[in-house]
Structure 1
Amino acid sequence: MARIKPQALLQQSKKKKGPTRISVTTIILCNLIVVLIVFFLFSAYRHWNQRSRFQTDDHLSVSEDENAFVDPKKSDVPGYAVLNTSKGYITVELYKESSPEVVDEFIELCQKGHFKGMLFNRVIKHYVIQAGNAQGVGATEDWTSRGKHYDHLDTSLKHEAFMLGTSKGKRDDKGFDLFITTAPIPDLNEKLIVFGRVIKGEEVVQEIEEVDTDENYQPKSSIGIINVKLKQKI
């Protein structure tokens, strides 16, 4: 086998290609692509950032417009009352819109503890239960006689059962009594100012309705309100 001369080896090594050099055009194109990518990312970030800010501003403006029509005093008024009785809890929704003055008076008396320990002193089966002043004027005196023949009434009923009301006329701290109907009562507006309705605890109202009473419709055993708690929501 013939040996390669040193001069031939030198010429072959010179013919071998060195490392490929990157052209100036390629470098410029790569830099241009990087710049375009950075510009695109920055534009996208700016777009979404402005969009989210506009959405937040729109939401705030809508909220402010809605709140502009809300009376802060009305919004602070509790919407519910929970009567803790010796028979259980009765939850009442208050009619703040239709009877605002009576609801305000009721809430004020609740905060003073007026109803704490108040007894149910009139229970007329299939008619109404009353808590408050047993000697109060008007509301129950003629109801006791009407309650005896309630089943014979065939007039159109205007009101449902489980409505919360108080007697009409001038009231003071001692004269604010509570009535909860246990059946639809004709011409209820002639006797009561309705300012709420029972939404939970109807079975408690019915249990109070079923207690034994004397000839004056007074419960033979004491049944009363332990306390009343006011709530914004249920």
Structure 2
Amino acid sequence: MQKRISMFAAAFALMTGVFASTVLAADKAIVVEMETTEGKIVLELDQAKAPKTVANFLAYIEKDHYPGTVFHRVMPDFMIQGGGMDATLSEKETLPPIRNEASNGLRNDEYTIAMARTGDPHSATSQFFINSGTKNSFLNRADPRSDGFGYAVFGKVIEGKDVVDKIEAKPTRTVPAPKGGLMENVPVEPVLIQAVRVVSGVQK
């Protein structure tokens, strides 16, 4: 069984272009704790329906990428986005982008976590968003209002929904971007990700 799981993890590495030393335990849910300056958010990741995306997220956790990043885009009744910029709003270096898994049947329902991306459907790297609105179905691939690809959901919040609500309620402003232009919906008081750790579902 261990050999089969290890081969499964290796297949993920080939698909995502990254290799993490964590080995997915197929018989357990993957649970991740995210410590923020507003409190703890606990996530359950769906490796069965979003294998490439979950493997990618775990690779960033293993690289210790997320501590020191902020939720840089916060929009009430919509979502909170983070995982890619530090407190100065400078982007951190990322791994190669991954293929979009938005056709996996998971929906952008309230308190689900999905991958952020540019207009290129296969451009997601480290940034993610947590849906905080109840009318985000237009982000689903199957929705006729989507861009034809959608945004890939790969898990859900199982504890700390109140923390998501607190972050969502933060006052925001428009600020100059480090590389020029403007960034909108930036919290006035930075909301920092302090730690992200896997608490169950993988073996080292």
Tell me the distance in 1 between the aligned counterparts of 2:160 and 2:46.
18
Q: Secondary structure at the match of 1:102?
A: helix
TM-score by length of 1: 0.55
Structure with greater strand percent: 2
Secondary structure in 1 aligned to 2:53?
A: helix
Larger Rg: 1
The separation in 1 between residues aligned to 2:122 and 2:126, in whole angstroms, is 9
Q: Is contact 2:30-2:44 (8 Å) kept?
A: yes
**C-alpha deviation, 1:71, in angstroms:** 4.5
Is 2:131 aligned against 1:163? no
| Structure with the larger RCO, 1 or 2 (CA within 8 Å, 6+ apart) | 2
Q: Is the 8 A contact 1:165 1:192 kept in 2?
A: yes
Paired residues of 1:78 and 1:230 also in contact (CA < 8 A): no
Letter in 2 for 1:128: M
CA-atom RMSD, angstroms? 2.6
Correspondent of 1:128 among 68, 79, 87: 79
Deviation at 1:135, TM superposition (A): 8.7
Which consecutive unaligned segments of at least 5 residues does structure 2 have? 7-23, 92-106, 141-148, 175-183
Which amino acid in the other structure matches residue 79 of structure 1?
I
CA contact (8 A) 2:29 2:44 kept: no
- Segments of structure 1 that go 5 or more residues without pairing to the other structure are 1-66, 137-157
Match of 1:196 in 2: 155
Q: Among residues 182, 191, 200, which one is paired with 2:132 in the alignment?
A: 182
For the residue of structure 2 that corresponds to 1:187, the secondary structure is helix
TM-aligned CA distance change 1:97 to 1:123, over 3 Å: same
With normalisation by structure 2, the TM-score equals 0.62
Specify the SS of the correspondent of 2:171.
Answer: coil
Q: Which amino acid aligns with 1:75?
A: A
Q: Which amino acid aligns with 2:79?
A: V
Corresponding residue for 1:28? none
Q: Give the 3 Å change call, closer, same or farther, for CA 204–112 of structure 1 in structure 2.
A: same
Mapped to 2, the partners of 1:78 and 1:118 lie a distance apart of 26
Q: Could you tell me the percent identity over the aligned residues?
A: 24
| Aligned mate of 1:205, from 153, 164, 170 | 164
Measured at CA, do residues 108 and 159 of structure 1 come closer, stay the same or move farther in structure 2, by a change above 3 Å? closer
Q: Say whether residues 1:96 and 2:55 are aligned partners.
A: no
The separation in 2 between residues aligned to 1:159 and 1:176, in whole angstroms, is 18
Q: Which has the higher helix share?
A: 1
The residue identity in structure 2 corresponding to 1:203 is D
Q: Count residues with an aligned counterpart.
A: 143
SS in 1 for 2:110: coil
Residue type matched to 2:58 in 1? I
